[in-house]
Amino acid sequence: MKAHKESRLLREPTVAAAGVRLLSDALRAQGIAVIDASWEPPPEGAAPSLSRVAADLRRLEANERAVQAMIESKPEVVGVTTAGDALGLEPRQFLHSGPPLTWEEASGPLRGALVGALLLEGEAESPADAWEICERDRIELFPCHSRGAVGPMAGVISASMPVYEIRDEVNNHVTYSNLNEGLGKVLRMGSYSNEVIKRLRWMKTNLAPILDDAFKRHGPFDVRALLAQSLQMGDEGHNRNRAGSALFLREMAAHIAQCDYTNSEIAQVFQFIDGNEHFVLNMVMPTAKAAADASRDIPGSTMVVAMARNGTEFGIQVSGAGDQWFTGPANTPSGVLFPGFSDVDINPDIGDSTIMETYGIGGFAMACAPAIVRFVGGSADLAHQKTRQMYEITLAENPYLQIPSMDFRGTPTGIDVAKVVSTRILPAINTGMAGKEAGTGQVGAGLVQPPMSCFEQALVAVAKSGFEK
Amino acid sequence: MKAHKESRLLREPTVAAAGVRLLSDALRAQGIAVIDASWEPPPEGAAPSLSRVAADLRRLEANERAVQAMIESKPEVVGVTTAGDALGLEPRQFLHSGPPLTWEEASGPLRGALVGALLLEGEAESPADAWEICERDRIELFPCHSRGAVGPMAGVISASMPVYEIRDEVNNHVTYSNLNEGLGKVLRMGSYSNEVIKRLRWMKTNLAPILDDAFKRHGPFDVRALLAQSLQMGDEGHNRNRAGSALFLREMAAHIAQCDYTNSEIAQVFQFIDGNEHFVLNMVMPTAKAAADASRDIPGSTMVVAMARNGTEFGIQVSGAGDQWFTGPANTPSGVLFPGFSDVDINPDIGDSTIMETYGIGGFAMACAPAIVRFVGGSADLAHQKTRQMYEITLAENPYLQIPSMDFRGTPTGIDVAKVVSTRILPAINTGMAGKEAGTGQVGAGLVQPPMSCFEQALVAVAKSGFEK
């Protein structure tokens, strides 16, 4: 110990500098080691807002209320219904992921998914026919979030599609998502080939009624408990749902087996779930949305309650600013591509699945899933670094969702736009990557960042709102 | 960099000493920092053997062959048969865990399990009747290992019990284990109440034929691949098999659902598997045994091919010493007790499940399962320490079984008795704990160490064998 102490005194000093480079450059010129911290002053527009909200003690209380509401939400799957019944959709009305946009603004995978949905609804005879209907402005588009729903990737939900009904008894609130189709050539990635439509039809006629029946036998299915388990089993809940999907099947198998269908029809359901490591994604997403919705509309709160992308823009919503979207151009993810694809094939960021990061898991809980780095690219250490960084932009640690390798520390929960703007640390997001061209399907998986401007705009809006009721 | 280098030169030296304390004490007397390594000279009996095997270069080659055979073994479940058919057991012949012993030497849980097995076989009318049959020496006992089988805890296998058939095509070798009953009041923990016997009967009439049928539909089930996955999902393969059991059910569900039984009978099977986080233990154990058997009978090899306990003694077998058991008194595990039990209720170490540590997982792969420390007691860091230590007494790293949190390093595989004796590091073992009194059942789970004397005896035996063919 003594030797160690002495040697520290004898070491040359290292200077850590933040802000303008004038000081640190001067030191470097004198041969002194300097580490520059990544801090930058907030941009001109956001700076006054940042000082204003930072100085307002009411924000602390508002954010505490917001994050506690998110943490204490306890969503459960109660059954499977249809989007027409539950969300009031007509045959030519479609939900999509992310903030609002028009057909003209839509990227390839969203256009492909809309073409497929028109075919599924029997509103078009062929892909060309469907395309023309869209071009002639004969469809209506709404964000999933505007109807209490979320959808991965293109997020297209049409009237006859089955949807999970998720109920949060704590807040007497209901959310929805469609059913996951599996990997590769699937509607949510923009594919609309015959196999895609055929699979979606089977999901309506067989999978949905069997699951609904099984949920009714089982009783409400506690999704937060499932997530808590799966985070201890190598999942991060967004891009890796292998444990969650297996645990779901384990718990539901006896109830599925008792449905009044033939052995072979039941076996098909098991085979379908076995073949899809992301099966529970469409249950955990509306769970995260239900939790985030519990934090909405708290005056003065700078906490993020939605992050979502439509393939063109990235948008966020903030508790203290109602349903307003704050958007910026969607970045293009980078990661590991499937064989046969290159960087030019990747569509800009798309999907409501960033609701998982909004809830404090996914990219925020990468430390749970060292194996994910082999899927999205990067090292096991990167996974821990990302998670550690996310504690700097969040308000709390979720005691129900823990990270075993960090000694069961709670996941970093409740993104504060004020913290994002002041630290310049952006939320870490794991994501699937869709092909740019309509009809391509999935091309890989990777990491992506939201544009900083969304957070700056949101901060300005909350500051302006001045905590009025 | 420069500053760092200089400071190293300026630090006072620290001395690391091994062996007799005379030197290190003399240094300490002069105020010099000394770290004593835990090395001790091997005991009188083993010292000449250690020098002899250490000096013999043929040992390196023999151990390399032994550990490679273990690593390359690829066992698969091919079906479920009965112990009578597969192992030639008669109604009053019973297999048990660990090295050979008599009824008189048997501990409470083994006696309880034998009483239950006599009831199951219809050889006794009542527990008292069964007990008398045993006392009058009217039963025959054989170690599971002597018949190519392994059994957890008491490890009692009787003629009519169903057993998994595990085939290793690489070595054209077959091993067996009975089916796992679940937790709590179960035969393997020494319980023999009506519910225990009733459950065992249902396992014979329903579970076994349904599983056998499903395995035949599925084709050979690759258990090593299952283990590789589950180690990336928080299991260590001995005391935590939650991921493995869920993955097994996921993969087999469609095949189980197609069996020619009623929906309700099929549902019972799913419910049973869902209720048992250790369901696959009795598949992974004979898998580890098949792999360890592949390493047997290599002249001069000091590699362990079996570690097993019968509740009275701990025994090991070593590749270079045939089927000879090297035994010492079984230690009593310590860990986390179920409510209502105390330390005096814990039986000494029992079961063949240490075949998992023999195969390099279980206690050796605790770093995969930070959550296990909540079950067996200790901290998440302890799990990593244990695994790191195990590399010091093993011969290789298994490339098929990786530890994500250690950057996908292979599990420490192939225990070398020479390394154990020279480092004095004993294999780390996770284990269930049975109640001492016959009939009690499980009382908790914890950690335990084997007696060093087993390893010393084994080393002496291999040294004496002198590499003769």
**DSSP secondary structure string, B102-137?**
-TTT--HHHHHHHHHHHHHTTS-SSHHHHHHHHHTT
Please list every residue in chain A whose beta carbon sits closer than 8 Å to the beta carbon of residue B5. Answer: none
B322 vs B69, B299, B306, CA distance in Å?
16, 9, 11
Q: Is the pLDDT of residue B44 over 90?
A: no
A333 & A278 share domain: no
Q: Which amino acid is at B90?
A: E
A170 vs A72, A73, B46, B182, CA distance in Å?
8, 6, 67, 35
In a domain, B292, yes or no: no
B271 & B128 share domain: yes
More confident site: B29 or A386:
A386
pLDDT of B209: 98
Q: Which amino acid is at A301?
A: S
Q: Is the pLDDT of residue B342 over 90?
A: yes
In a domain, A292, yes or no: no
CATH number at residue A166: 3.90.1710.10
B66 & B21 share domain: no
In a domain, A42, yes or no: no
In chain A, the percentage of residues whose pLDDT exceeds 90 is 78
Choose the final residue of a domain: A285, A317, A347: A285
Facing residue for A270 by CB, picked from B11, B257, B274: B257
Q: Is the pLDDT of residue B38 over 80?
A: no
Q: Interface pTM (ipTM) of the complex?
A: 0.86
Say whether residue B5 is in contact with chain A using an 8 A CB cutoff: no
In a domain, B399, yes or no: yes
The least confident of A56-65, A252-261, B21-30, B51-60 is B21-30
Distance, in Å, from the CA atom of B250 to the CA atom of B257, rounded to the nearest integer, reads: 11
- DSSP character string of B148-166: TB--STT--B-TTSEEEEE
More confident site: B322 or B47:
B322
CATH number at residue B340: 3.90.1700.10
C-alpha A230, offset from chain centre: 17
Interchain contact, A12 vs B3, CB within 8 Å: yes
pLDDT of B7: 41
| pLDDT confidence tier of residue A12, bands split at 50, 70 and 90 | low
Task: Compare all CA atoms of chain B with the CA of A279 and give the residue at the minimum distance.
Answer: B250
Task: Compare all CA atoms of chain A with the CA of B404 and give the residue at the minimum distance.
Answer: A370
Summarised one tens digit per residue, pLDDT across range A333-342 is 998 898 899 9
Q: How many helices (H) does chain B have, and how many strands (E)?
A: 18, 17
A149 & A204 share domain: yes
Interchain contact, A10 vs B10, CB within 8 Å: yes
A156 & A211 share domain: yes
Q: How many CB atoms lie within 10 A of CB B194?
A: 8
| Chain A interface mutation, best of B1, B221, B233, B279, highest count of A Cβ atoms under 10 Å | B233
A to B CB pairs, distance under 8 Å: 130
Tokens of B315: 């025994």
pLDDT of B121: 98
Task: Compare all CA atoms of chain B with the CA of A260 and give the residue at the minimum distance.
Answer: B263
pLDDT of A111: 97
Mean pLDDT of B49-70: 88
Say whether residue A452 is in contact with chain B using an 8 A CB cutoff: no
Summarised one tens digit per residue, pLDDT across range B82-99 is 999 999 999 999 999 999
In a domain, A10, yes or no: yes
The least confident of A264-273, A349-358, B5-14, B226-235 is B5-14
B324 & B370 share domain: yes
More confident site: B384 or B281:
B281
Say whether residue B242 is in contact with chain A using an 8 A CB cutoff: yes
**B positions 343-372 inside 8 Å of A (CB):** 370-371
Task: Compare all CA atoms of chain A with the CA of B379 and give the residue at the minimum distance.
Answer: A407
Mean pLDDT of B448-453: 96
* DSSP label at residue B203: I
| pLDDT confidence tier of residue B114, bands split at 50, 70 and 90 | very high
A283 vs A79, A139, A146, B413, CA distance in Å?
11, 27, 18, 40
Distance, in Å, from the CA atom of A108 to the CA atom of A110, rounded to the nearest integer, reads: 6
* Sheet of A173-178, strands arranged across: A173-178, A162-168, A75-82, A221-222
**A positions 90-149 inside 8 Å of B (CB):** none
Minimum distance, in Å, between the CA of residue A252 and any CA atom of chain B: 9
Say whether residue A251 is in contact with chain B using an 8 A CB cutoff: yes
B317 & B278 share domain: no
In a domain, B270, yes or no: yes
More confident site: B149 or A184:
B149
pLDDT of B374: 72
Q: Is the pLDDT of residue A76 over 80?
A: yes
pLDDT of A55: 74
Structural domain span for residue A14: 2-36
Say whether residue A383 is in contact with chain B using an 8 A CB cutoff: no
Say whether residue A469 is in contact with chain B using an 8 A CB cutoff: no
Say whether residue B254 is in contact with chain A using an 8 A CB cutoff: yes
Q: Is the pLDDT of residue A10 over 70?
A: no
Interchain contact, A268 vs B254, CB within 8 Å: yes
| pLDDT confidence tier of residue A319, bands split at 50, 70 and 90 | very high
Mean pLDDT of B155-159: 98
Please list every residue in chain B whose beta carbon sits closer than 8 Å to the beta carbon of residue A7. Answer: 7-8, 10-11
> Hey, CA dihedral for A18, A19, A23, A25, is it positive or negative?
positive
Q: Are A169 and A287 in contact (CB under 8 A)?
A: no
pLDDT of B16: 60
Choose the final residue of a domain: A217, A251, A285: A285
Q: Are A151 and A434 in contact (CB under 8 A)?
A: no
Facing residue for A274 by CB, picked from B250, B259, B260: B250
The least confident of A96-105, A355-364, A399-408, B286-295 is A399-408
Mean pLDDT of A347-364: 97
Summarised one tens digit per residue, pLDDT across range B297-326 is 999 999 999 999 999 999 999 999 999 999
Please list every residue in chain A whose beta carbon sits closer than 8 Å to the beta carbon of residue B233. Answer: 233-234, 242-243
Q: Which amino acid is at A418?
A: A
A80 & A55 share domain: no
B205 & B236 share domain: yes
More confident site: A202 or B339:
A202
Say whether residue A264 is in contact with chain B using an 8 A CB cutoff: yes
In a domain, A291, yes or no: no
Strands (E), A370-467: 394-403, 409-415, 429-434, 442-448
Summarised one tens digit per residue, pLDDT across range A16-26 is 655 556 666 77
Task: Compare all CA atoms of chain B with the CA of A6 and give the residue at the minimum distance.
Answer: B11
| pLDDT confidence tier of residue A252, bands split at 50, 70 and 90 | very high
Tokens of B375: 């079950």
A188 & A277 share domain: yes
Say whether residue A226 is in contact with chain B using an 8 A CB cutoff: no
A310 & A275 share domain: no
**Average per-residue pLDDT for chain B:** 91
Residue B301, CB-side half-sphere exposure with 13 Å CA sphere? 29
pLDDT of B5: 41
Q: Is the pLDDT of residue B43 over 80?
A: no
B329 & B461 share domain: yes
Tokens of A268: 């098909």
Minimum distance, in Å, between the CA of residue A389 and any CA atom of chain B: 19
| pLDDT confidence tier of residue B201, bands split at 50, 70 and 90 | very high
| pLDDT confidence tier of residue B10, bands split at 50, 70 and 90 | very low
The structural domain count of chain B equals: 3
Residue B307, helix vs strand vs coil: strand
In a domain, B142, yes or no: yes
Summarised one tens digit per residue, pLDDT across range B228-261 is 999 999 999 999 999 999 999 999 999 999 999 9
